[in-house]
Structure 1
Amino acid sequence: MIGVILWSSPTREKAVIWCEDHGALAYLQGKENLVIPAEWPEAGDLVELEVDEVADLRHARAVSLVAGNRRCELPALLREMSEKTVPARPVLRVIAGTDGEGLKERPLKVAAAH
């Protein structure tokens, strides 16, 4: 399976991987789960991996970097995109039926947690 490293900590030997099957995230822990232990993946790297599910948690096994696909700027790009797409104020409306006049639109006040 192919995946993208979302978060990585070389000192703690841990990483979180988004997988192409859109299933749960996979967790990489320890160099023993790398094909080449000297190549710890960084956030944004494209990797090939096997997944082993233990107690509803997906563990990444046999992880190897896909050559030529380092994207260390990916986390910053995703963060920037999310900041641009979050609306400043949520807009929700309730459409209510009335007594023969058709539909009337009323604004709905929403408390948003930011």
Structure 2
Amino acid sequence: MYGVVLWSDISENKAVFWCEDQGDLAFFHACPEIDGEQCTEFDAGDLVQFDIYLDRKMRKALNPRVIREKARTDLPHRLLNGQSNLEASKSKGQVVPFPTKIQTERKKVSS
């Protein structure tokens, strides 16, 4: 799987990846004393490739490799902006209209 690093902490050997399939985030935690795996120095926006597995309903990354540094440095900011825009639109009570074609088909069905 490919993903973009949203957050990482080298001192804790942890990282969080936004996955290419737009599913749940993948969490990475290297345990050098158990599995000998070292945390690569990830930065927010790095494109990474990794194996993925489920552990108690949580997606976890294994064997992450940096494919391209700073590929999407704007992603964490864009996600935060998108969340605040979503919350603002909810508070304004905006309704997202359906396309005209769907509304026309609804009228035909209800007639």
Fold in common (TM above 0.5)? yes
Greater share of residues in helix: 2
What TM-score do the two structures reach when normalised by structure 2? 0.62
Q: Distance in 1 between matches of 2:93 and 2:39?
A: 50
Q: CA RMSD in A?
A: 2.9
Q: How many residues align?
A: 91
Residue 61 (structure 2) pairs with residue 60 (structure 1): yes
Q: What is the match of residue 13 of structure 2?
A: 13
Alpha-carbon spacing, 1:31–1:45, altered in 2? closer, same or farther (3 Å): farther
Q: Which amino acid aligns with 1:56?
A: K
What TM-score do the two structures reach when normalised by structure 1? 0.61
Q: What is the match of residue 40 of structure 2?
A: 39
What is the percentage of aligned positions where both structures have the same residue?
30
Alpha-carbon spacing, 1:63–1:31, altered in 2? closer, same or farther (3 Å): farther
Deviation at 1:55, TM superposition (A): 1.1
Deviation at 1:70, TM superposition (A): 4.0
Look up the SS of the partner of 1:11 in the other structure: helix
List alignment gaps of at least 5 residues for structure 2: 96-111
Q: Distance in 1 between matches of 2:51 and 2:27?
A: 11
Indicate the larger mover: 68-77 or 46-55.
68-77
Q: Distance in 2 between matches of 1:81 and 1:24?
A: 17
Q: Which amino acid aligns with 1:6?
A: L
Alpha-carbon spacing, 1:12–1:65, altered in 2? closer, same or farther (3 Å): same
Q: Distance in 1 between matches of 2:13 and 2:94?
A: 44
**Residues 31 and 40, structure 1, Cα contact 8 Å, conserved in 2:** no
Q: Distance in 2 between matches of 1:70 and 1:87?
A: 30
List alignment gaps of at least 5 residues for structure 1: 94-114
Alpha-carbon spacing, 1:82–1:25, altered in 2? closer, same or farther (3 Å): closer
**Residues 27 and 59, structure 1, Cα contact 8 Å, conserved in 2:** yes
Larger radius of gyration: 1
Q: What is the match of residue 91 of structure 1?
A: 93
Q: What is the match of residue 108 of structure 2?
A: none
Greater share of residues in strand: 1
